[in-house]
Amino acid sequence: MRAGSVSLTIRKSVTSGTHSGHRTALFGIPNGWITFCTRFGLSEYPAAVEDLLLWLDSCLSPPNAILVSTAKRYLKGVKASHLDRVHPWISGLDTRDINFFFRGHLRLYPPPPPEPKLAITPLTVLRFSEVAPHASHADRVFHTASSVLSLRGRRGGELFPTTDVATRLLRWKHFSMSIDPLCQGFYLDILMKTSLVRKRVFFPSLPECAICPLTRILEMRELSPYVSGPEDPIFVIDGKPLRRSFMMDRSISALGLAGIPIVGAVGSKMWRAGLASHSVVSGQPEATTQFLGIWASSAYKKYLELDDSLVASAVSELVLAPPGRHPPPPPGRGRRVIAVPAAESSDSDLSSSSSEDDYLPRRGRPAAQRGSPRSRRAIKATRVNPPAIGSRGSARLRSPNWNPPAFNSSFHR
């Protein structure tokens, strides 16, 4: 039954294109496997080793070069399509040979440094919402979508999909209010990139915040000139569903009005990168960051867009923090010092002095330094039984300056 489920998933990913990586690996232009075979008249199934290596070489070489990690995913997609069509996969094409092949290309064509991406944080949305216009329906759509994207770090394609729009479009039937009095807000049933089932995402109500998503989405729905039935899209611009170009252009315009410098490339994941970066800078725990952006692992770290200002602020906080803020030393570390009054330092057994004279036999000391005599039973117990762990006797045994006293037979008559 599990094999049938896996086969069905692979078949859907290849034929219907539900998994974008597999579909691109086969039918992508210009680097798809089937596209490559059609161009040069090669056999698609089963694939030959030489043809696969030539295909990978064309994918990794300019002018349409892709990353090595992307080429590895393409190769997995081709392998999945072979298994789905009951074609044997090439046994000689093992992982070690492919890794050596990729390493050679990395030496010949080292990857360019990653281009910084524009990150829009919740604070950025709060800042440009004060200066960007709110008069028209298009303005209200932009501000509502910005709040929804930034506060939970969602991908832009989840609100304005560019492929399979009929299935992935966000409609009013996917919107529902929260009935929990402790968690006021609303839910959106979003179809994510890596899932075939919609995920119910909670958006809280922020009554005292200017970018409250609940207030904005209800105001947009109330003042909308378009029908808001269950099958109608939530975000509508000029009678059509929200488009990617509209959000990109409006975001650049809003950043310019707010005087915020535009650093990095504009993309549909700039709100997702903004939430991850802002959550890390604000000191949120890793579990909180993962839960906010619905990351199943620490994959959020690839979205981080941090600069040297974080290093400067962190080092300043560590060095210039007031003494009371430093945490106490952990227990069991370092040497324990016991303070003793000066009047008792010569006679008390709790003296903190580490002089070797304190450990000499009492009969070898002057009379003024002998102190109170010890019983024979206590002396015998100290010699025969080792001191308990954690006692002062055990601390003396561990001390590098301690010399054990010489045995004196006069104590044992």
Instruction: State in words which class domain 122-314 has.
Output: mainly alpha
State how far the alpha carbon of 111 is from the alpha carbons of 61, 273, 409, in Å.
11, 22, 81
Q: What is the pLDDT at residue 29?
A: 85
C-alpha–C-alpha distance, residues 335 and 333, integer Å: 7
pLDDT digits (tens, 9 = 90+) for 272-315: 988 988 988 888 888 888 888 888 887 778 777 766 766 777 77
Q: What is the pLDDT at residue 396?
A: 52
- Give the residue among 196, 142, 145, 155 at the shortest CA–CA distance from 293: 155
Record the tokens describing residue 275, joined without a space: 């939430």
More confidently predicted of 347 and 266: 266
Q: What is the pLDDT at residue 17?
A: 43
Which DSSP symbol is given to 186? E
Q: Is the pTM of this model over 0.85?
A: no
Q: What is the pLDDT at residue 334?
A: 45
C-alpha–C-alpha distance, residues 198 and 195, integer Å: 7
Contact yes or no for 327/299 (Cβ under 8 A): no
Which DSSP symbol is given to 258? T
Q: Confidence class of residue 362 from pLDDT cuts 50, 70 and 90?
A: very low
Lowest mean pLDDT among 182-186, 247-251, 293-297, 346-350: 346-350
Residue 265's region, left for phi above 0, alpha for psi from -120 to 50, else beta, is beta
pLDDT digits (tens, 9 = 90+) for 78-105: 888 888 888 888 766 666 777 778 888 7
pLDDT digits (tens, 9 = 90+) for 113-151: 777 788 899 999 999 999 999 999 999 999 999 999 999
Which residues fall within 8 angstroms of residue 124, CB to CB, at 6 or more apart? 150, 255, 258, 260, 274
Q: What is the pLDDT at residue 409?
A: 47
More confidently predicted of 11 and 125: 125
C-alpha–C-alpha distance, residues 143 and 168, integer Å: 21
Q: What is the pLDDT at residue 176?
A: 95
Percentage of residues of the chain with pLDDT beyond 70: 68
CB under 8 A, 24+ apart: contacts of 215-224: 216/140, 216/143, 216/144, 216/147, 217/144, 217/148, 217/175, 217/186, 219/140, 220/137, 220/140, 220/141, 220/144, 221/172, 223/137, 223/140, 224/137
Which sequence spans correspond to the domains of the chain? Answer: 2-108, 122-314, 354-411
Domain 2-108, CATH among 1.20.58, 1.10.10, 1.10.150, 1.10.260: 1.10.150
Count other Cβ atoms within 10 Å, centred on residue 107: 7
Peptide bond into 46 cis (omega under 30): yes
